[in-house]
Structure formats: C-alpha cells, structure tokens
Amino acid sequence: MRESTLTVGELGRRAGVGAKAIRFWEARGVLPPAARGANGYRLYAPETVEVLRFVRQAQDLGLSLAEIRQIAAIRRGGRPPCVHVRRLLAAKARELDAKLQALLALRRRVRASLAAARRAPAGPAAVCPCIETTTRGGDHGPGESVALPRVRRVPRGRGDR
C-alpha cells in the first residue's frame, strides 16, 4: 500500500464508518470507485475521509443516498452543489413540517381517545372499548370514524435511504 492511499479498513477507522457501509456506498455510486492495489484491495485517497463524513452528515439531515449521490456527482463534475443542496434542504424542511403537523394531529386524536376511554364505561366490544369508543361517537360525533394517518418513521440507520 502506498502511503498516500488508505485501505477500506483504515478509511473506515479514520472516518468512523464500517467497511461494509463504504463498500455499499461505493456500489451505489455515492463514492467514486476505489483504485485497486496489486493484491486487489480497494485503495482510497485520504480526502475520502471527508467525503464519508459528509455522507454521514447528509444522512443525519435526512437526505437519501440517491440525493447524496446527486450532490456527489455535481461535485465530481467540478461544480459546487450548494444551490442544489439548498433546494433539497428546503424540500426536506417542508416535508418535516408536514410530518410534524400530522404527528401533532395524531397526538391530539390519541389524547382525545384516551380521555373518551377514561370517561366511557367498559362495555361490550369486539376487541377493546378504549379504541372502539372513538368510532362510535366519542369526541368525534355519532358514528364518525377516527382514521389515524399512517406515519412513516424517520430513518436513522446508515443503510440505503
């Protein structure tokens, strides 16, 4: 190994990223293909440490690997990606605002259901009157069903997002 290159293991140690994630990101085009040594080992430039840190920070902001790949491609093309990144982050902020509003509405409905369940006597139910009460009147009017939105979790892992 030349002094100016890093193996996948050394790169991972310096960047705080597992070798498996590095190989995965390379396969997905987030990182450029590594050079290969005579022994077939992947060899990376030392600057790749900062690229990996960028990938982790971008993921922490909720950007997907596809979005990060776009940013990296713009940079590799010799252009600063900041205009593109600002658009992505603005869209991400709008998406988070919408999710936050949905979660706040869900919390209000859960609290209303809990309050209704505490007030309602335990009566006959198909499964549980605590939930069924809210579909039979509760705080939502007679016979009105309370449809709770499906809320996707915000990914925190380091896989393909």
DSSP-derived letter for residue 44 is E
Looking at residue 32, which CATH number applies to its domain?
A: 1.10.1660.10
- To the nearest 10°, the Cα dihedral for 62, 67, 73, 79? -70
- Residue at 25 is within a domain: yes
Query: Do 22 and 54 lie in a common domain?
Result: yes
Q: Residue 51: what pLDDT?
A: 94
Q: Residue 3: what pLDDT?
A: 61
Domain that includes residue 39, residue range: 6-62
Query: Do 15 and 50 lie in a common domain?
Result: yes
Q: Residue 28: what pLDDT?
A: 92
- Cα–Cα distance for residue pair 27/112, rounded to 1 Å: 48
Q: Residue 153: what pLDDT?
A: 56
- Residue at 67 is within a domain: no
Nearest-CA neighbor of 43 among 31, 52, 34? 34
- Residue at 68 is within a domain: no
Q: Is 35 helix (H, G, I), strand (E, B) or coil?
A: strand
- Residue at 96 is within a domain: yes
- Residue at 158 is within a domain: no
- Residue at 106 is within a domain: yes
Task: Count other C-beta atoms under 10 Å from residue 30's C-beta.
Answer: 26
Final residue in a domain of this structure, among 62, 92, 107: 62
Q: Residue 52: what pLDDT?
A: 95
Q: How many domains does the chain have?
A: 2
- Residue at 41 is within a domain: yes
Query: Do 97 and 57 lie in a common domain?
Result: no
**pLDDT averaged per 10 residues, the chain (length 161):** 81 95 94 92 94 95 96 94 97 97 96 84 76 56 46 52 44
Spatial neighbors of 146 by CB under 8 A, at least 6 apart, are 109, 113, 134, 135, 138, 140
Query: Do 50 and 89 lie in a common domain?
Result: no
- Residue at 131 is within a domain: yes
Q: Residue 128: what pLDDT?
A: 82
Q: Residue 134: what pLDDT?
A: 60
